[in-house]
Structure 1
Amino acid sequence: MAQHIAQKLRLTAALLGTVTRKDLAAAFRGVNPKTAFDLGRADKWLQGRAQPRQLSVYDDWSKLLKLEQPGAWIAESDLAGFTAAICARHGIERGELERRAGAHFDAASRHEERSLGLALVGTYACYSRALSPYYRGQLIRGSLSIEAGPGAHGLTAAYREALPTGQLLLGGLMTPAKRGLYALLKETSGEAQFFFCLFPHSRPGSVLGGYLCGTSIIGPEPQPSLTRILMIRLRNPAPHTWGGYLPSDGSIARDLASLGLSIEQTEAVDRQLAQFLAGDSDGGANQIPPAEFRSILDMFDRYWLRQSGQT
């Protein structure tokens, strides 16, 4: 049974000096142009979430390391035995190889983070439930622009909505992480703030999705709100005049087509997107009626003041 595959691959990459998965895959192709070493699955192998099932991968691996042992031995050997064998074969001390592997892993992680961050750069058409009580049940369209920012994998994001009261523009940093994609964006000429909590990005990254959290902008009073949001990548930026509330009978698929996306089976697409955006709500954003919160606030304010008067 195969074991310690992730650690063995990292030691191999450190020995060969390959920085990325693509480099490692190229090394495997160097010994076998038809190798079953799969670039798409290599990420899971390196993270220990899966392992190669084809014995030929291990045979190619043995050739790559110029070992006398067969591929099955690489799969089944313990980590100490594997390390000792490649150190002896290539004349390197174990401590030095392990040091290189640690440094290599850090460098590879930084490279992957940077690469993943840059893959997010682009413009997106955004659809979410309207937060305003005046437009309950309707969708609102926004545009998101992501650009490379400062730091090793920094990103900046700008989100815009065309509201009846004027343009709403928010900006800030976007942070990609293993468990999600996060952004706290603030209004450039006001006090509004939106927080985006999205699913982790994956290649090729045609869609981002998750939650938008903020307070309603148009209404008699601000309401803390939560709504699902979808962000569909565009090949070209949307016109500056595009956006705002989608008519009640509007079609997201046709709206995207107007932005240059070729959508087939528009009715099926609309049903699927509408189902996602509605989630478990009543068709609008998830909101707490102010009166409900105020009744609890009033009750506990009275408790607090009464107890304060007794001290």
Structure 2
Amino acid sequence: MAQHIAQKLRLTAAVLGTVTRKDLAAAFRGVNPKTAFDLGRADKWLQGRSQPRELSVYDDWTKLLKLEQPGAWIAESDLPGFTAAICASHGIDRAELERRANAHFETAAGHEERSPGLALAGTYACYSSALSPYYRGQLIRGSLSIDVGPGANGLTAAYREALPTGQLLLGGQMTSAKRGLYAHLKEASGEAQFFLCLFPHSRPGSVLGGYLCGTTIIGPEPQPSLTRILMVRLRNPAPQAWGGYLPPDGSIAADLASLGLSVEQTEAVDRQLAQFLVGDSDGGASQIPPAEFRAIVDVFDRHWLSHSA
């Protein structure tokens, strides 16, 4: 059974002089261009939350360290034995290797903290204008989870709303760019789709904001809709039952406090957040009345049909 994987990876990075996960992944690719050492999963391996399941990763690992032992030995060896093997293979003193490993861990933490992906990863409480005409003028709460996915800059996002009709869950890729943060989210078991266009991420990353674009989920007919959205970062995930429409007289500050995020001057904060979310709208999402669009469709359909013969 594999053991001490996180510590072994840190010792490996220390002896190789690789500073970041990206550097370590590049070193693995150096011995096997098709290595199963995945940059996205390496974060969990280094945190001890999981371990490589593919035996080929350990085979590549022993080649990387130029050890005589087979890959399975790396997975199953105890930490003192693994450390001794590295020291013997690379001619380094044990105390010096451990010193490098400790220094490497601090340096790598600084580099990873500056990584946009890791800086964005987390759970956010989201507030936006309800798209449904039945709840026009109210705010709806949702939760957004951002995770580091495969690839050097891979981010995945999952957005959830607790609707009267059941849970709405959408997911997809998120892209962090200099001029903005973008996500195209799709419902796995349905047809709903949302697009997020947000302000660029800034340190320390306590809040995200921008626009959400999509069609109404609850209503007599679908309407293309646009609303401002605010996403406040939480220290702990929101309960599964949390979410749904905020009562008309509900307080966002009080709602955040129920999630463990208490702010001072709650009334002033509520006014500021409400002003941001409402913006220049009439208090609800920006929507085009279907009748207005159908009137234009009627004009051009008639013209098209009259000239199609």
Distance in structure 2 (CA, Å) of the matches to 1:306 and 1:152:
55
Distance in structure 2 (CA, Å) of the matches to 1:226 and 1:301:
26
Check 1:266–1:116 CA distance in 2 against 1; reply closer, same or farther (3 A cut).
Answer: same
CA contact (8 A) 1:132 1:217 kept: yes
Q: Deviations over 1:232-277 (max 9, x none)?
A: 0000000000000000000000000000012111110000000000
CA contact (8 A) 1:113 1:153 kept: no
2:259 aligned with 1:267, yes or no? no
Identical columns (%): 87
2:291 aligned with 1:294, yes or no? no
Distance in structure 1 (CA, Å) of the matches to 2:113 and 2:181:
12
Query: In the alignment, what sits opposite 1:282?
Result: 282
Query: In the alignment, what sits opposite 1:254?
Result: 254
Q: 1:115-264 residue pairs with structure 2 within 5 A? A: 115-264=115-264
Q: Which amino acid aligns with 1:187?
A: E
Check 1:141–1:291 CA distance in 2 against 1; reply closer, same or farther (3 A cut).
Answer: same
Distance in structure 2 (CA, Å) of the matches to 1:242 and 1:262:
17
* TM-score normalised by the chain length of structure 1: 0.63
Q: Give the Å deviation of 1:294.
A: 0.5
* TM-score normalised by the chain length of structure 2: 0.63
Query: In the alignment, what sits opposite 1:12?
Result: none
Distance in structure 2 (CA, Å) of the matches to 1:266 and 1:113:
31
Distance in structure 2 (CA, Å) of the matches to 1:284 and 1:294:
22
Distance in structure 2 (CA, Å) of the matches to 1:308 and 1:187:
38
Check 1:113–1:221 CA distance in 2 against 1; reply closer, same or farther (3 A cut).
Answer: farther
Q: Which runs of 5+ in 2 are unaligned?
A: 1-18, 21-110
Q: 1:60-79 residue pairs with structure 2 within 5 A? A: none
For residue 308 of structure 1, give the secondary structure of its aligned residue in structure 2: coil
Q: Deviations over 1:124-178 (max 9, x none)?
A: 0000000000000000000000000011010000000000000000000100000
CA contact (8 A) 1:114 1:152 kept: no
Q: Give the Å deviation of 1:196.
A: 0.2
Q: Give the Å deviation of 1:281.
A: 0.6
Q: Which runs of 5+ in 1 are unaligned?
A: 1-18, 21-110
Q: Give the Å deviation of 1:114.
A: 7.4
Distance in structure 2 (CA, Å) of the matches to 1:297 and 1:227:
25
For residue 308 of structure 2, give the secondary structure of its aligned residue in structure 1: helix
Q: Give the Å deviation of 1:113.
A: 11
Distance in structure 1 (CA, Å) of the matches to 2:204 and 2:161:
26
For residue 240 of structure 1, give the secondary structure of its aligned residue in structure 2: coil
Distance in structure 1 (CA, Å) of the matches to 2:286 and 2:298:
23
Distance in structure 2 (CA, Å) of the matches to 1:277 and 1:270:
11
CA contact (8 A) 1:114 1:153 kept: no
CA contact (8 A) 1:130 1:137 kept: yes
C-alpha root-mean-square deviation of aligned residues, in Å? 1.6
Distance in structure 1 (CA, Å) of the matches to 2:121 and 2:212:
19
